[in-house]
Chain A
Amino acid sequence: MNNFLLLPIIIPFFFAMILMFGQKNLKYQRITTILGLIISIICAFALLFNVKENGPQTLTLGSWPAPFGITMVSDMLSALLVLTTLVIAFFIVWYGFGSIGKERERFFYYPGVMFILTGVNGAFTTGDIFNMFVFFEVLLMASYLLIVLGGEKSQLRESIKYILVNVISSALFVITVAYLYSVVGTLNMADISVKIAEINQPGIVTVIAVLFLLVFGMKAAIFPLYFWLPNAYAAPPIPVLALFGALLTKVGVYAIMRTYTLFFTHDLAFTHELLLVLAILTIIAGSIGALAHFDVKQIIIYNIVIAVGVILFGVAQMNEAALEGAVFYLVHDMIIKAALFMLIGIVIYITGTTNLRQMGGLMKNYPALGWFYLIAALGLAGVPPLSGFIGKLLIIQGGFEAGNTWSSIFILASSLVVLLSVIRIFIYAFWGEQGQVSNNINKTTYNIMFYPTVLLVFISILYGVGTEFVVPFIDDAAKLLSDPSIYTDAVLKGGN
């Protein structure tokens, strides 16, 4: 009996329910949300160490035997992602106290955040492909609420596109699961993996693999399917944008990672080659966008696309070094993207504009903000002591091992573009002549926004400097990804 692994899903869910009462009482809403997040973070921590000690934790709901009930599996990868998700959400909610606005807080903003966490954590933890679809819908429904909440014109326009794209990709998800079910006759992910290995991945399964890439690629914004992301993410206010940027695309990346390392491992020459090409095209598309824009939000949003490409490049190599790098980079990217969005949110709050050309000279009055931005920017690009370094290093090492020399060098070069795009914000906004400054800057609001951001940047620094402490955890995750039998044994033969 191991219900413990469900707690990071159930606790946010429970708090979302009790937050539906007392809609207008801001004090109650804020305190309850923070309390719920702290309890879930503690549980996620305990879960992480439990998984480290005892291997993957599995639980089949309702006392049914494994392939017949819904199995929840908490292996190292999902435990790490669940913890990261909750920690990021804690800081974003704190940050939101200053910037989200009372009107939104009174209209189910906090239940929305808690439901999104339920969905994200559920999608990370589930061991059943249809259950994953359901958790995708949970997080998407909550994200529909958060993207449209406030009802500004641009939000309404973009939410229509966002919902349309996601409804189509969800329908495609159902169709793909139906195909897969008709071929293998099971929905349990471990069981699917075993069945596909038994029939040795005929052509139809490869087609299903590509369909899954299409579905999850639409959620994760890979190359031809990222068109909806830049405008949709620019519409909602900064805390919501940070939440989306840090979590939502990463769920799609996780799903690709999971399906491509667990199910479709018998025709690497086709599926993983395709993934590799798409990953590189994604990086190119993201780089062009990140360099072309003079809008701070857009620059960071296109950096999400680049990071998705880099992580998927790691997944496409299918060797332990690259997978370890991909996991490293995934966690790093979630933290650093949240931190960067929060930082540029402060910049936008101070200057009152998102246009780089109108900013300037913030260094004089906000030196701390400037230096923290610089650290986060260098961390994103992967400068050695900081968090982005080790992940990219391992990905490239894996690339060389797999014989993809030129594409690995290309990934290395793309770091320069990333660095250029974020340093441009630093140069334009913090150096030079004094630019536009908003005339109603409230010191308390600034502080409420500043402290969580700084703490998150500190966490990213610790993640980079303390790589030694993180490596054993990531190592376990990479082992599990490169050897699906650990996962299937844990589920089907009762690993714990």
Chain B
Amino acid sequence: MKVNNVILQFTAKIVFFIIFFFAVHIFFAGHYTPGGGFVGGLVTASAIVLLVIAFDLNTVHKLLPINYIYVVAIGLILALGTAAISMFVEQPFFTHFFDYFYLPLFGKTSLHTAALFDLGVYLVVVGVTMTIIQTIGDDE
């Protein structure tokens, strides 16, 4: 019997973006409200998993041709690099810096290096979750 997943696939296409943007939202909201790199990463991974369920691993791999192990490595390097910035300016390791900037569209914004560290965490979480799911899913 031929299975037709048209409703699931159509919904997944739309819902993917909703989940993804929600993930981006909680990632950036982490400093002042609940959220941050870890949940942001998990929610992003769950959005990709939704695509995997609606389509299949190969299609999703064609859509997002990413080696997730490299994502983990890049995330780790980013986190370590952020922590190491302070070593080069004579401050203890892991000292963070922040300041207020006037950005064109956003106006007065506080930028904090902790966000870069969080981006590292985000990438590691996405990378690890997707590696686990891909590896188990691919297994014959």
Q: Which residue from chain A places its CB closest to the CB of B72 in the assembled complex? A: A20
Q: Which of A20, A61, A62 contacts B73 (CB 8 A)?
A: A20
Number of A-B contacts (CB under 8 A): 44
Q: B-side binding surface: helix, strand, loop or mixed? A: helix
Which residues of B have CB within 8 Å of A62? 92-96
Q: Which of A13, A21, A60 contacts B70 (CB 8 A)?
A: A21
A-B CB contact pairs (8 Å), 24 listed: A1-B90, A1-B92, A2-B92, A3-B92, A3-B93, A10-B93, A14-B77, A17-B73, A17-B76, A18-B73, A20-B69, A20-B72, A23-B69, A59-B93, A60-B92, A61-B93, A61-B94, A62-B92, A62-B93, A62-B94, A63-B86, A63-B91, A63-B92, A63-B95
**Is B92 a contact partner of A61 (Cβ separation < 8 A)?**
yes
Which residues of B have CB within 8 Å of A13? 80
Docked complex Cα distance between A13 and B84 (Å): 12
**Is B92 a contact partner of A21 (Cβ separation < 8 A)?**
no
Number of chain A residues whose Cβ lies closer than 8 Å to a Cβ of chain B? 17
For the A-B complex with A3-B87, A18-B77, A21-B70 known, give 14 more contacts whose Cβ atoms are closer than 8 Å: A1-B91, A3-B93, A6-B93, A14-B77, A17-B73, A20-B69, A20-B70, A20-B76, A21-B73, A60-B92, A61-B95, A62-B93, A62-B96, A63-B92
Q: Which residues of B contact A (CB under 8 A)?
A: 69-70, 72-73, 76-77, 80, 84, 86-87, 90-96
Specify which of B90, B93, B94 lies most central, judged by the most chain A CB atoms within 10 Å of its CB. Answer: B93
Which 6 A-B residue pairings sit nearest by Cβ, starting from the closest? A20-B73, A61-B94, A62-B94, A63-B95, A3-B87, A17-B76
Docked complex Cα distance between A60 and B92 (Å): 7
Docked complex Cα distance between A89 and B109 (Å): 47
Mark each residue of chain A from 55 to 85: 1 if its CB lies under 8 Å from any CB of chain B, else 0. Answer: 0000111110000000000000000000000
Q: Which residue from chain A places its CB closest to the CB of B127 in the assembled complex? A: A20
Which residues of B have CB within 8 Å of A2? 92
From residue B119, how far is it (CB to closest CB) to chain A in Å?
Answer: 15
Which residues of A have CB within 8 Å of B94? 61-62
Q: Which residue from chain A places its CB closest to the CB of B78 in the assembled complex? A: A17
From residue B86, how far is it (CB to closest CB) to chain A in Å?
Answer: 8
Specify which of B80, B87, B91, B94 lies most central, judged by the most chain A CB atoms within 10 Å of its CB. Answer: B94
From residue A264, how far is it (CB to closest CB) to chain B in Å?
Answer: 30
Which residues of B have CB within 8 Å of A63? 86, 91-92, 95
Q: Which residues of A contact B (CB under 8 A)?
A: 1-3, 6, 10, 13-14, 17-18, 20-21, 23, 59-63
From residue A459, how far is it (CB to closest CB) to chain B in Å?
Answer: 31
Which residues of A have CB within 8 Å of B86? 63
Docked complex Cα distance between A6 and B95 (Å): 14
From residue A11, how far is it (CB to closest CB) to chain B in Å?
Answer: 11
Which residues of A have CB within 8 Å of B91? 1, 63
Docked complex Cα distance between A20 and B77 (Å): 11
Which residues of A have CB within 8 Å of B87? 3
Docked complex Cα distance between A2 and B86 (Å): 11
Q: Which residue from chain A places its CB closest to the CB of B79 in the assembled complex? A: A17
Which residues of A have CB within 8 Å of B92? 1-3, 59-63
From residue B67, how far is it (CB to closest CB) to chain A in Å?
Answer: 9
From residue A187, how far is it (CB to closest CB) to chain B in Å?
Answer: 16
Which residues of B have CB within 8 Å of A61? 92-95
Q: Which residue from chain B places its CB closest to the CB of A59 in the assembled complex? A: B92
Which residues of A have CB within 8 Å of B76? 17, 20
From residue B138, how far is it (CB to closest CB) to chain A in Å?
Answer: 15
Which residues of B have CB within 8 Å of A6? 93
Docked complex Cα distance between A63 and B92 (Å): 6
Which residues of A have CB within 8 Å of B84? 10
Q: Which residue from chain A places its CB closest to the CB of B89 in the assembled complex? A: A1
From residue B126, how far is it (CB to closest CB) to chain A in Å?
Answer: 15
